[in-house]
Amino acid sequence: MAEIFNYPSFIKYIQHDNSVNIRYVRKSKTQEATGKRVDLLQKMMDHLRAKSLCRKVFVSPSSNANDPLIQRDEKLKPSMQATLQRLRHINGDCQGECEQ
């Protein structure tokens, strides 16, 4: 089976191009503690920045896979706003807010 995606070529291209690799992470609506949610989101973000060389990462701290993208993070609870504030190197939520 032929390799569909050549990861080393992608990384080389990203390193020498002016393009911006943008990704998005989300955490499902579950009941874990805020600290645990922050840790999980931060690990996902760090992985994207290290492995895929993402320059911008947007985060939805509490949304399900079937939630429409346009509606995610419209009305964040204070606890989810606090979650976003605790994350490092975040570029925003699904509404594009909280640019650091």
pLDDT digits (tens, 9 = 90+) for 53-97: 899 999 999 999 999 888 888 888 899 999 999 999 999 998 876
- Integer-rounded Cα Rg, in Å, for the chain is 15
Look at 16-20, 41-45, 72-76, 77-81 and tell me which has the smallest mean pLDDT. 16-20
Calpha distance 49→47 (Å, rounded): 5
Nearest to 28 by CA among 19, 37, 20, 15: 37
Residue 92, helix vs strand vs coil: strand
Residue type, position 99, single letter: E
Q: How remote is the C-alpha of 96 from its chain's centroid?
A: 12
Say if residue 26 is exposed, middle or buried (CB neighbours under 10 Å; 0-12, 13-18, 19+). buried
Phi/psi for 57 (5° steps) reads -130, 125
pTM: 0.82
